Amino acid sequence: MKVENMILRRITRVQKSNVIFYSTKQAQKGKLYSNTIFLPKTRFPQRLENHKLVERDESIHSAADFENLYTWQRSHLSEPEFVLHDGPPYANGQAHMGHAINKILKDAILRCHIIKGNKVHFIPGWDCHGLPIELKAISDNKDLDPIKIRKKARQFAEKTIKDQMQAFKSWGVMGDWKNSYQTFNKDYVKTQFRIFHKLYEKNLVYRDIKPIHWSPSSRTALAEAELEYNENHKSPSAYVRFQISHFPKIANVDGKRLYAIIWTTTPWTLPANNAVCYNENLSYIIVKKTNSSDSSLYIIAADLLSNISAVLNSNFEVVQEIKGAMLAGARYIHPIYSNQECTFVNSSHAVANKGTGLVHSAGSHGPEDFLVSLNYKLPLVDLVDDTGCYNSHAGDNLKGKFVLTEGNKEVQAMLKENLLHLGEITHSYPYDWRTKEPVIIKASQQWFIDTDALRNRAIESLESVAIIPNDRSDIYRRNLVSQIQKRPYWCISRQRKWGVPIPVLYDEHSEKIIDEHTINHHCNLLRTYGPDFWWILSEKELLPDKLHSCYNSDTLTRSQDIMDIWFDSGISWARVLEGSKIADVYLEGADQFNGWFQSSLLTSVAMRDKAPYKTIYVHGFAVDENGVKMSKSLGNVVNPSDIIKGNKKQKPYGIDVLRWWVTCHANQDSLANVSHTTLKSCAEELNKIRNVLRFALGSLSDYEVSEDDYKNLLLIDKYMLHLLHKFHMQTSEYLESYQFHRISTAVLNLLTNSVSALYYTSIKDRLYCDAVGSTARKAAQYTLYNVFEIITQTVAPMVPHLVEEMYQYYNLKDNKTYFTSTHIKPQSDWENRDLDEIMNVILNCKKEVNKTLGSNTADKDLKMAVCAKVFKSLQDFGAIKDIEQQVAHIIQVGSVTISKEDFTDDHNKLFSLEISDSSRFCCPRCRKVQSDKDDELCKRCFEVVNSSNFTENKTAVSN
């Protein structure tokens, strides 16, 4: 094949893909000139699909050196440093969509700051301890000793961390991976020991017996954050009477039996009953059943009479009304153990909106009950063991029975006729988040953080914290504050093996041994033996030499508790944020208001008296295409790796489609659907970006940036820069609150409407047909250069692979990779509001012309009469004759003449149009209807083709 033919074939193909307006008249000599046209020239592929996309991702990862970007920016970029503190994912299971959303959003934010030239601080981490991993470690052998359990658990967590880290890196997520923090590492545990000790010294950590949420199924205490509430839990609903044995202030009972009625949904707590609470401010009534052989008297709250009548299916007559205060000093016979007598006590938590207004209290089994016991110095009765069964103190009938099942039943039987009514209630009840089994509240010796003492400071410190998204900010803040307000203490001890030991020894009187010497000693042992030292060494070895003379090491015991994993991860700021540094952003899902956002706040306030973050950013959750939460059992799980690399059923989308989906769809605190329809449209959107920027890339292949070109911009170039300026201001504002979904919409709008449809169409004639090096062509290239720069820096944080790929084909680059290059900012004088008015008129004219003629407008001449104001503005942009030609290119007609007119009939009128057939002919080279004779070159094309430069340029095109 002849070389010339090859050139023609190629040019024809490219012309089709870059359709501009052509005359309908076929120019006979067209083919002759087709190789004199300067079409965009780039080898950057128009489309990448399937395995090529996967190969591209992998090759970009190494070509753009994503692995070392973090280290590079630490030494090359300037202050202010931007600190994003990574919330540690749990080292359990493979990388899933939740991780993808979290890590990709973090990466996009970091890359935004890198593009702005600011160094970033991001040390990824993992949460490595806790029950799920421990359960996996003991799954095949329940009798393992602590060292073996810990070894298996560690191996499991290490493997998971390795796999997850590889996945996160493969998504293009940059960070200080080499120094990542892991809560089981020596350094981390050391930090935790020191913090525990400091808080102990400040009296913010203490040990006490308290009712806590206890999971019989995993035999450990649970924090509020580890509970899941089951809305459909069924409990017994029991009305029980307590016989009053002594009632010093109540008269007129006439020797009749008097009972208090209480209501409970936990009959199993009745054996531990140690008081009945009344409210001195409530009104109570003494009632008697009518039409019944039962002559007993009952006390209930006056307001609840009709409710209780209905439940007990009895009619009552009121014998006497009494004030709550009259129950002071009254005593009753214990409903299970009749040899015991207990007292009535006043408490404001006895209210008259449900139940009976009299409340059964068992100090071991409820937070309010516990406070009542504290106030009245009532002894706590502990009748339930760690497995949730009654212990021997509960008596032979109950001993060994699981409280929630057989225990409840046995108690009901033991109540006999004192059980007035037994029903069932469906209500919200706490479950263990891991085992999905119900929990109970029981008294236990545990370690606590005194959140009561931290409450006010924690709430105050939140005042300066921003919460994103803005529209939910107030709700989130209120919820967080109310949770902190409701939290009197935080139980931080757990009775398991896979965690950080609570570094405390006890002497023979159970007195705690913890001070600076013991902590220093434990930190040294930690360095030598690793965190297992607590289980490896003897008590004697755990005690520093200095203290050996003070204690008999044979009588010492070590703490059998480990720390709550929320305390582990809650102190991550201390390991990662050096000195008094505060993170700019903590970014996680909304569930972390119950977890990490809260635990980090409390520990940071306790240690440093300030919040660890300036901004909390809340992202969305991935759900399937029907909006249903993904779960293995439903089989609706979509894995990030399947989206990226494809599987048997579906072709690969590549990493950037996943990243685009995350940044566009999951960056707000809502549910994000992972459906193929959405992913497909994400892929199409990226192709749109690819193709629009590809045109700019190709058009810049023979360009060198010169600020002189800025002086020669035409009207449409200036307008393009004006729009770019506006776009940049708008997207920068969106970026302040990380509204990537708004940014992506703005990008697509700009590219589709302003860049592709308007700007490219208007400049194609200049680019293709003007002489290379002509000022008008260079002005368009200067503008395209800015379009490319501004758009790429907007999308690069979201789709770095695509942008790095383009950058490899960009001849104006200043470095090997995009993210290590410097990036321009729009100049303030790009903004020119007069252009909005003028272009509004021109674009309305274009609309009118297209309305009348469709798209066949090239062989028409246009007479445009404009009002004086618009005419004057046009003149400010250049000589009217030049402007006329420029407007002809924008409107895509043969020629335009512009005149000034006073619209006397309508002073608000801006323009009027007259369209006529052109008397000129189609130029066989540029195909504009601007030749004086048929089948002859127009003046411009004649000059270009016959210029001395041409031979040179022709070579450029055909290369």
State the nearest-atom distance from the C-beta of 946 to Zn ion, in Å: 12
Residues 579-598 contacting Zn ion, CB under 5 A: none
Of 26 and 340, which CB lies nearer to Zn ion in the complex structure? 26
Q: Is the peptide bond before 80 cis (omega within 30 degrees of 0)?
A: yes
State the nearest-atom distance from the C-beta of 765 to Zn ion, in Å: 8
The residues, ordered by sequence, that sit 6+ positions from 722 with a Cβ below 8 Å of its Cβ are 830, 831, 832, 835, 836
DSSP string, 713-745: --HHHHHHHHHHHHHHHHHHHHHHTT-HHHHHH
Tokens of 81: 């440093």
Of 739 and 857, which CB lies nearer to Zn ion in the complex structure? 857
Q: How many CB atoms lie within 10 A of CB 557?
A: 13
Determine if 238 is a binding residue for Zn ion (CB under 5 A): no
State the nearest-atom distance from the C-beta of 709 to Zn ion, in Å: 23
Stretch that binds Zn ion, among 46-54, 236-244, 597-605, 924-932 (CB under 5 A): 924-932
| Nearest-angstrom CA–CA distance, 288 and 114 | 79
DSSP-based three-state secondary structure for 337: coil
Question: In 34-143, where does DSSP find H-type helix?
Answer: 50-63, 66-76, 97-116, 131-137
State the nearest-atom distance from the C-beta of 64 to Zn ion, in Å: 42
Kind and range of the H or E element at 344?
strand 341-346
State the nearest-atom distance from the C-beta of 717 to Zn ion, in Å: 21
Determine if 944 is a binding residue for Zn ion (CB under 5 A): no
Contact 110, 176 (CB under 8 A): no
Tokens of 956: 């450029």
Contact 323, 283 (CB under 8 A): yes
* CA-closest candidate to residue 623, choices 663, 660, 586, 678: 678
Phi and psi, residue 950, nearest 5°: -60, -45
The residues, ordered by sequence, that sit 6+ positions from 77 with a Cβ below 8 Å of its Cβ are 114, 117, 118, 119, 120
Stretch that binds Zn ion, among 519-527, 693-701, 887-895, 920-928 (CB under 5 A): 920-928
Determine if 244 is a binding residue for Zn ion (CB under 5 A): no
| Nearest-angstrom CA–CA distance, 741 and 367 | 45
State the nearest-atom distance from the C-beta of 925 to Zn ion, in Å: 5
Question: In 530-672, where does DSSP find H-type helix?
Answer: 533-536, 539-542, 565-570, 572-576, 596-608, 640-645, 655-665
Stretch that binds Zn ion, among 449-457, 521-529, 792-800, 933-941 (CB under 5 A): 933-941
Determine if 858 is a binding residue for Zn ion (CB under 5 A): no
Phi and psi, residue 931, nearest 5°: -90, 150
| Nearest-angstrom CA–CA distance, 266 and 26 | 91
Of 920 and 925, which CB lies nearer to Zn ion in the complex structure? 925
Determine if 938 is a binding residue for Zn ion (CB under 5 A): yes
Kind and range of the H or E element at 849?
helix 833-853
DSSP string, 251-306: ---TT--EEEEEEES-GGGGGG--EEEE-TTSEEEEEEESSSS---EEEEEGGGHH
Of 862 and 937, which CB lies nearer to Zn ion in the complex structure? 937
Determine if 925 is a binding residue for Zn ion (CB under 5 A): yes
Determine if 929 is a binding residue for Zn ion (CB under 5 A): no
State the nearest-atom distance from the C-beta of 827 to Zn ion, in Å: 34
Of 657 and 772, which CB lies nearer to Zn ion in the complex structure? 772
Contact 849, 915 (CB under 8 A): yes
Tokens of 73: 């920016």
State the nearest-atom distance from the C-beta of 935 to Zn ion, in Å: 12
Stretch that binds Zn ion, among 38-46, 186-194, 637-645, 941-949 (CB under 5 A): 941-949
State the nearest-atom distance from the C-beta of 764 to Zn ion, in Å: 13
Of 415 and 938, which CB lies nearer to Zn ion in the complex structure? 938
Kind and range of the H or E element at 126?
strand 125-126
Determine if 887 is a binding residue for Zn ion (CB under 5 A): no
State the nearest-atom distance from the C-beta of 770 to Zn ion, in Å: 10
Stretch that binds Zn ion, among 138-146, 487-495, 911-919, 934-942 (CB under 5 A): 934-942
Of 605 and 941, which CB lies nearer to Zn ion in the complex structure? 941
DSSP state of 919: S
State the nearest-atom distance from the C-beta of 19 to Zn ion, in Å: 18
State the nearest-atom distance from the C-beta of 924 to Zn ion, in Å: 8
Of 689 and 926, which CB lies nearer to Zn ion in the complex structure? 926
DSSP state of 383: -
The residues, ordered by sequence, that sit 6+ positions from 376 with a Cβ below 8 Å of its Cβ are 275, 343, 345
> What would the x/- binding string for Zn ion be over residues 490 to 529, using CB under 5 A?
----------------------------------------
State the nearest-atom distance from the C-beta of 850 to Zn ion, in Å: 23
Contact 929, 941 (CB under 8 A): no
Kind and range of the H or E element at 623?
strand 621-623
Determine if 923 is a binding residue for Zn ion (CB under 5 A): yes
Determine if 157 is a binding residue for Zn ion (CB under 5 A): no
Of 317 and 882, which CB lies nearer to Zn ion in the complex structure? 882
The residues, ordered by sequence, that sit 6+ positions from 496 with a Cβ below 8 Å of its Cβ are 131, 134, 218, 220, 562
Classify the phi-psi angles of 357: left when phi > 0, otherwise alpha if psi is within -120 to 50, otherwise beta.
left
Stretch that binds Zn ion, among 507-515, 519-527, 658-666, 919-927 (CB under 5 A): 919-927
Determine if 941 is a binding residue for Zn ion (CB under 5 A): yes
State the nearest-atom distance from the C-beta of 858 to Zn ion, in Å: 12
- Please count the residues of this chain forming the interface with Zn ion, following the rule CB under 5 A: 5
Q: Which of 926, 929, 944, 957 binds Zn ion (CB under 5 A)?
A: 926
Stretch that binds Zn ion, among 114-122, 424-432, 614-622, 938-946 (CB under 5 A): 938-946
State the nearest-atom distance from the C-beta of 930 to Zn ion, in Å: 6
| Nearest-angstrom CA–CA distance, 340 and 467 | 55
State the nearest-atom distance from the C-beta of 667 to Zn ion, in Å: 49
Of 453 and 945, which CB lies nearer to Zn ion in the complex structure? 945
Sheet holding 78-85, edge to edge: 118-121, 78-85, 583-589, 613-619, 466-468
Residues 295-314 contacting Zn ion, CB under 5 A: none
Of 44 and 942, which CB lies nearer to Zn ion in the complex structure? 942
Of 665 and 940, which CB lies nearer to Zn ion in the complex structure? 940
Stretch that binds Zn ion, among 524-532, 831-839, 842-850, 936-944 (CB under 5 A): 936-944
Of 275 and 923, which CB lies nearer to Zn ion in the complex structure? 923
| Nearest-angstrom CA–CA distance, 806 and 696 | 11
Of 672 and 887, which CB lies nearer to Zn ion in the complex structure? 887
Of 515 and 936, which CB lies nearer to Zn ion in the complex structure? 936
Of 149 and 891, which CB lies nearer to Zn ion in the complex structure? 891
Stretch that binds Zn ion, among 202-210, 849-857, 885-893, 922-930 (CB under 5 A): 922-930
- Nearest-5° Cα angle at 95, 91 to 99: 90
State the nearest-atom distance from the C-beta of 928 to Zn ion, in Å: 5
Of 406 and 936, which CB lies nearer to Zn ion in the complex structure? 936
| Nearest-angstrom CA–CA distance, 779 and 717 | 7
Of 49 and 935, which CB lies nearer to Zn ion in the complex structure? 935
State the nearest-atom distance from the C-beta of 27 to Zn ion, in Å: 9
Stretch that binds Zn ion, among 376-384, 457-465, 906-914, 923-931 (CB under 5 A): 923-931
DSSP-based three-state secondary structure for 233: strand
Stretch that binds Zn ion, among 27-35, 118-126, 704-712, 926-934 (CB under 5 A): 926-934
Note the residues at the interface with Zn ion (CB under 5 A). 923, 925-926, 938, 941
